[in-house]
Structure 1
Amino acid sequence: MFKFNSRKGNRHTDAPRAEKVSRPAKRARVNASEGKVRFAWTEKFDWGRIRIKMVVVVFCLLWAGLWGRAWYLQMVEGPRLAERARRQHTASELVTGRRGMIFDRNGQVLARSIEARSVYARPQEIEDFKAMANTLGPILGIEPQKLYDDLSQTKRRFVWIKRKVDDFTAEAVHKTNIAGIGLSKEYDRVYPFKHMAGQVLGFVGMDDKGLEGIERSMEARLGCTPTRQIVQRDAMGRRFYLHEEGQSEPRGQDLTLTIDVQMQFIVEEAVARAVKEYDARWGGAIVVDVPSGEIMAWAQYPFFNPNTYKDASPLVYRNRMAADALEPGSTFKPFVMAAALQEKKINAGTAIDCEGGRWETKNFTIRDTSRQGVLPANKVLRYSSNIGMAKIGLMIGVPTFHKYLKELGFGQRTSVPVADSRGILRIPRDWSEVDIMSTSFGQSISVTGLQMAQAYLTLLNNGQYKALTLTREENNVDEVHPRVFSQATAREVMRMMRDVVEESDGTGKRARIEGIEVAGKTGTAQKADHRAGTYGSKRLASFVGFFPADKPKYLILVMVDEPTRNQYGGVVAAPVFKEIASRTLTFSGIMTNTKVASVEETPAATPTSGRRRGLKLASLDVPYAADSKKDVAPSQDDSMRLPGHLAKAGSRVPDVMGKSVRNAVELFARAGVVPELKGSGSRVVKQTPAPGSVWPEEDNKVEYILWLSER
């Protein structure tokens, strides 16, 4: 029998053997119920906790990385990145804000600034130039091809496309939302009264800078002082201001002028009518309040509308009353007369030989429009004799003559804040004898209308210089100005100017105004022909007047350049003065304070006494009160022939044909009738009802009309 060695024997035996277990690294059990294979060693770990800890570790690492990155950006790259951001989005710019407004003396707005939008482009940010041009061109009214060429070919980083568009256009541009296209806030200047005082106000350019008139001369005040501010732009390129340091948008100061809108309208209407009627080149007028020296109105025609300054030529917006120096003509004569009186070279009664209207001296011929012989000095001015004034000028002498003209302001700019000319006043050593004679009647010297107004203001201020003013300042201090003429001299010349208008033989009779005494001086200046080198056929018609004559309230200067249908200042310019003055009397209320002349106050008219004023035309509806004790009862026929202030009402309609307006109105007023005046003039040429007819019993059904004319 053999023994079986289990170690060396046959593995396969008939007897069953127990299965041995492998090492832990190789052992595995099959869980039939779960269908999974598990390693024995994995049963020792809590994998739920392990996953949580891993998540925590990952987040801690990420958190540490973010803090590290933040530290790096802040501490290492921070200064460099901050500088780049500042340069890209924030900059220090010179900022200008809203201009100050301009008001008239009553607070009416003459000029103001309103917000506007301007369209700009940043070409580097535009993605599709063709699409941009086709979309934006029709909105802005720009040819798409031109817009495409301008923006696609430029190397500039910023380009203005269209400045100061209207709100509708700005909104349409905003809605397009095109990259590289943006809107910027600017200010547009608006003049509510359009052409009113256009040449005086001037205008501002596209960059909101004054280019003409008050807008330019007062730029330092109206234009806001530029300030350097921090400006930040958003992603769309729109800018806004940072106010952390108390910054605010700058703004110009407001300005109040002495101009009165209502009076300005009156003057502009009268000047425009005269220029059109006489087919003149241009016309202008200045109205000055004498007691204060304030310019109440300053008109020029053709008109200029600052709102559309691009459509006007420099010839239209040029302020000719201040910038054009012209020979003044006979309106210059009162200053020569005043200088001679002041130097006691003459007096009002000094005889001056006017040579019958023609005087040849030093190969120089002087002519007058009327043939006068020997005249007293006061009539030399009334008849506007060139010969008489030339002889008076020779009496004064060059040095003295020049001194007075300099003190009156000729040859220098005025204090009015406009761009005015100095004119031409040569130094004494350049004057010849012919020069002093021609200067005495307004030739060989060039002055502006503004200088003439300044000189007349000095004369009317009892001979003491008074500066014209165009702006109203609360802190104005009355300065002490030198005296040019004595009060007696000034009053004497003013009386002479009164005779020019009020006397029947004066050259300024067309400037008369019923109810108030007027003084003035006409002028008809020859204009030089620069091509021919001599005086040509063109004239400057002018008139300077003031009222009331004894105590001036308003000074009015009228100039009409190159009228063609008539050239004389007494015919062309004097009626303009009359229209302005008449409407100013009503506007200012002066006529309502004028008393009606009574019998005992009004002496009988004589040929040498002139016309006595005092009728209140504005109050003719007040019954005329006469003192019956003082009146002498005339016959019926006499009542229709005597002057109005001596006549009593008769039973029949008086004959007022050929009578003055004053006498005619007084005759009707004594019967309790207020006639209607038609036409312009100082004499009655037609009346209704007919003279000599019985007064109608039912006055309310009858029209009482007096037709007037210059005759």
Structure 2
Amino acid sequence: MRSSSSRSRAPSAGPLRGERIRLWIVGATLLGLLATAGVRAGHLQLRKAAELRDRAARQHQGQIEILPTRGAIYDRNGRDLALSVPGWSLFADPSALADRPEDLARLAAVLGYTEAEVRRKLRAGGKRFAWLKRGLSPQELSRVREADIPGTGLAQEPLRFYPKRSLAGQVLGFVGADGKGLGGLEFRFDRLLRGREKRVLATRDARGRLLLRNAPDPLEASGGSLVLTIDETLQHIAEEELARAVEASRARGGVAVVVEPGSGEILALAQVPPFNPNDFAASRAEDRKVRAAVDVFEPGSTMKPLFVGLLLDRGKARPGERIFCENGKWPVHGRVIHDHKPHGWLTVEEILRVSSNIGVAKLSERISPEDLYTGYRRLGFGRPTEVELPGESRGILPEPEGWSLMTPKTLAYGQGIGTTALQVVGAFAALANGGQRMRLRLVREVRGPGGETLERAEPEPLEEAFSPATAARLTRILEGVVGPEGTAPQAAVPGFRVAGKTGTAWKVEGGRYNPKKVWASFVGYVPSRAPRLVILVAVDEPTKGPRYGGVVAGPAFREIARRSLAYLGVAPEAPVARAENAPRPGRAERAPASAEAEPGTMPDCRGLTLREAVRVLGRAGLLEEARLLGTGWAAHQDPAPGMRVEPGTRCTVVFRPAFGG
């Protein structure tokens, strides 16, 4: 009995133990799963929190680039020519508008676009950001704010503004919607003026509108600035008188350039038709370029005094010698050279006064092709002036190897050569200042974002184009051009001597000259014996009345000169007849006592000899940093008299010969 009862109890312990084991395994498994889930959750909580936050933030915010505030452009007296003003631009989140065609239609209506244009702008941006329109007009801004479309936002950006409208428009250039300079000085100095883009955050609020955070002050300049050589008043005078000349002759257009001969600084550069950079999209590409630097034309008779100067310098001609001018018609090398009027024997002086083609063509036989080519190159032809403008042309001056027997003769009267207006005025500036060709300048000073001076341009002599004696002789000859027997009495300026030359050049079309289309020009300097201004006026395709340079361009030269000299305070000269002991024309009355200045103050060197200027600069403690250019008497100085001069600042004094009268 005992054994049977023992056998019957033994099996009952096994199932209980197995159930416990199974329960334990299940529990352990559940605990393991829970622990794994906890670890995973902790991992997500601790290790991925930043990533998840960033992902969520990206769904509600993004970065955009705001245009930098371009630096200003000033005239030589600090007057605003180009500046930045606050403006508004509209941007959008393309993903927020993708499935909302009704909002796309509203945007199109607000901005004056088609829906296709709105979609194209959204596609052109990124996944989270696209510009819809930059530089909203006040009316557009009002409509955008009233519409309050979710997924869009407004950014305050600087806009380029030209307060004088079309004044010097081509010189200044213009700026595109993306803030990049696209013409003129805006393009040439874009990197300096533009500065760096600024990144700001755009976040979406509860209503889906995009808002900007940490937006910069739109008027806080990040770019540098420019101070030009242009004088706003002289620019206005040149533009006004040029427009009158173009209108009076019903011409296609024209250019006018005013240069200070002693320094090479361009005081005015005018052009007709004008160009308003505030509305550049409404203009033609042809009207946006600086024609004085880009357009190449045959200068015609304005080359004659420059050619004669080369002969005088080499002793190949004398002002009083006589040349037979064939009574107006000279067959040579299978061609015929004509004069406007028939002339017999003429002196070299008379050849220039009446502008005889035959006279200078005969004189061309006295100079070798190599010397003529080298002389024209020294005057700046066939190479750019390197003025601070984009796209400047070098002109056309063929090398002697390709010349025919006729080439020197046509080059003597300005055919077979292509020049720009700036090249011509630069050559006459050399004639006016006593023979020294100067680098032409449009930029006087470059400043950093904080207004600090980074670079200041100084007068830069390039090479001697003429000897001072030749320049003086040519000046006396060219004074006769504006006399009663000359070709430009219309260019005479009351109260002042003027030296200059007319030009009437046929245009070339299809490889042939078209006498119906001409450039009519006059270039000269005033007062001729102590020049303050060199002025070129060139009118393109006059169609009304006589089309000669003296008739078309002479009156504009006269008025630009008269008004400019009055503005600059240049007193009219004394009558030509003067006492023997009167001071010679071309030099100021010298008053050394008044030229003295306190140490550190710029003295008045004008009218002093080189030796006298050295003395007064030395007494002012400025001689060590002084730059003295040229010979004769001081005609130009920088800084102006009485200005305080900081240590290390360079002073420049330019001297010119005094032309005897």
TM-score for the superposition, normalised by structure 2: 0.74
In the TM superposition, 1:479-490 aligns within 5 A as 479-490=460-471
1:321 to 282, 285, 292: 292
Letter in 1 for 2:557: F
Give per-residue Cα distances to partners, 1:609-667, cap 9 Å, x unaligned: xxx99xxxxxxxxxxxxxxxxxxxxxxxxxxxxxxxxxxxxxxxxxxxxxxxxxxxxxx
Q: What corresponds to 1:563 in structure 2?
A: 542
Q: Distance in 2 between matches of 1:525 and 1:242?
A: 58
Give per-residue Cα distances to partners, 1:487-529, cap 9 Å, x unaligned: 1111111111112113x21112111122111111011111112
Q: CA deviation at 1:172?
A: 3.9
Whether contact under 8 Å (2:67, 2:178) holds in the other structure is no
Q: Distance in 2 between matches of 1:308 and 1:429?
A: 48
The answer for unaligned runs of 5 or more in structure 2 is 1-37, 446-454, 587-661
1:164 to 124, 135, 155: 135
Q: Distance in 1 between matches of 2:241 and 2:554?
A: 11
Whether contact under 8 Å (2:431, 2:471) holds in the other structure is yes
Distance change (3 Å), C-alpha of 1:153 and 1:160: closer
SS across alignment from 2:463: coil
Give per-residue Cα distances to partners, 1:344-382, cap 9 Å, x unaligned: 111212322211111001101100012111222121111
SS across alignment from 2:504: strand
User: Aligned-residue CA RMSD in angstroms?
Assistant: 3.3
Q: What corresponds to 1:448 in structure 2?
A: 420
Q: CA deviation at 1:562?
A: 0.8
Letter in 2 for 1:351: R
In the TM superposition, 1:93-112 aligns within 5 A as 96-112=67-83
Letter in 2 for 1:424: I
Q: CA deviation at 1:230?
A: 5.7
Determine whether 1:203 maps to 2:190: no
Whether contact under 8 Å (2:80, 2:163) holds in the other structure is yes
Q: What corresponds to 2:522 in structure 1?
A: 543
1:270 to 234, 241, 252: 241
Q: What corresponds to 1:500 in structure 2?
A: 481
Determine whether 1:179 maps to 2:159: no
SS across alignment from 2:443: coil
- Which is greater in Rg? 1
Q: What corresponds to 2:472 in structure 1?
A: 491
Q: Distance in 2 between matches of 1:549 and 1:268?
A: 23
Distance change (3 Å), C-alpha of 1:95 and 1:407: farther
Distance change (3 Å), C-alpha of 1:372 and 1:585: same
Give per-residue Cα distances to partners, 1:415-444, cap 9 Å, x unaligned: 211132111111121111211111110000
Letter in 2 for 1:487: P
Identity of aligned residues (%): 39
Determine whether 1:581 maps to 2:579: no
Letter in 2 for 1:421: S
Q: Distance in 2 between matches of 1:327 and 1:343?
A: 25
1:77 to 35, 48, 59: 48
1:435 to 382, 388, 407: 407
Distance change (3 Å), C-alpha of 1:373 and 1:517: same
SS across alignment from 1:97: coil
1:409 to 377, 380, 389: 380
Whether contact under 8 Å (1:89, 1:232) holds in the other structure is no
Q: CA deviation at 1:98?
A: 0.9
Q: What corresponds to 2:440 in structure 1?
A: 468
Distance change (3 Å), C-alpha of 1:588 and 1:150: closer
Give per-residue Cα distances to partners, 1:38-72, cap 9 Å, x unaligned: xxxxxxxxxxxxxxxxxxxxxxxxxxxxx999964
Q: What corresponds to 2:631 in structure 1?
A: none
TM-score for the superposition, normalised by structure 1: 0.69
Q: Distance in 1 between matches of 2:240 and 2:560?
A: 9
Q: CA deviation at 1:326?
A: 0.2
Distance change (3 Å), C-alpha of 1:478 and 1:448: closer
Q: Distance in 1 between matches of 2:577 and 2:515?
A: 52
Q: Distance in 2 between matches of 1:116 and 1:577?
A: 41
Letter in 1 for 2:402: D
Q: Distance in 1 between matches of 2:250 and 2:346?
A: 36
Distance change (3 Å), C-alpha of 1:113 and 1:70: farther
Distance change (3 Å), C-alpha of 1:396 and 1:85: farther
Q: CA deviation at 1:295?
A: 1.1
Letter in 2 for 1:552: P
Give per-residue Cα distances to partners, 1:433-461, cap 9 Å, x unaligned: 21111111000000000111111112222
Q: Distance in 1 between matches of 2:560 and 2:462?
A: 30
Q: Distance in 2 between matches of 1:194 and 1:202?
A: 12
Whether contact under 8 Å (1:91, 1:230) holds in the other structure is no
Letter in 1 for 2:174: F
In the TM superposition, 1:599-678 aligns within 5 A as none
Letter in 2 for 1:501: V
Whether contact under 8 Å (1:223, 1:253) holds in the other structure is yes
SS across alignment from 2:201: strand
Q: What corresponds to 2:201 in structure 1?
A: 232
Distance change (3 Å), C-alpha of 1:561 and 1:96: same
Distance change (3 Å), C-alpha of 1:539 and 1:205: same
Letter in 2 for 1:384: S
SS across alignment from 1:387: helix
Distance change (3 Å), C-alpha of 1:354 and 1:153: closer
Give per-residue Cα distances to partners, 1:390-429, cap 9 Å, x unaligned: 1222211211111111111111111211132111111121
Whether contact under 8 Å (1:123, 1:151) holds in the other structure is no
Moved more, 164-173 or 91-100: 91-100
Q: CA deviation at 1:137?
A: 3.4
Tell me: higher relative CO, structure 1 or 2? Use CA pairs within 8 A at least 6 residues apart: 2
Give per-residue Cα distances to partners, 1:682-705, cap 9 Å, x unaligned: xxxxxxxxxxxxxxxxxxxxxxxx
Whether contact under 8 Å (2:71, 2:193) holds in the other structure is yes
Q: CA deviation at 1:253?
A: 0.8
Determine whether 1:353 maps to 2:324: yes
Whether contact under 8 Å (2:504, 2:520) holds in the other structure is yes
Determine whether 1:421 maps to 2:390: no
Moved more, 310-319 or 153-162: 153-162
Moved more, 124-133 or 407-416: 124-133
Whether contact under 8 Å (2:175, 2:182) holds in the other structure is yes
SS across alignment from 1:204: coil
SS across alignment from 2:87: strand
Q: Distance in 2 between matches of 1:263 and 1:498?
A: 24
Q: Distance in 2 between matches of 1:458 and 1:349?
A: 23
Give per-residue Cα distances to partners, 1:100-140, cap 9 Å, x unaligned: 11111111111112222222222311276243134333332
Aligned residues: 533
Whether contact under 8 Å (1:90, 1:231) holds in the other structure is no
The answer for unaligned runs of 5 or more in structure 1 is 1-66, 604-611, 614-711
Distance change (3 Å), C-alpha of 1:386 and 1:428: same
Distance change (3 Å), C-alpha of 1:484 and 1:86: farther
SS across alignment from 1:203: coil
Distance change (3 Å), C-alpha of 1:464 and 1:148: closer
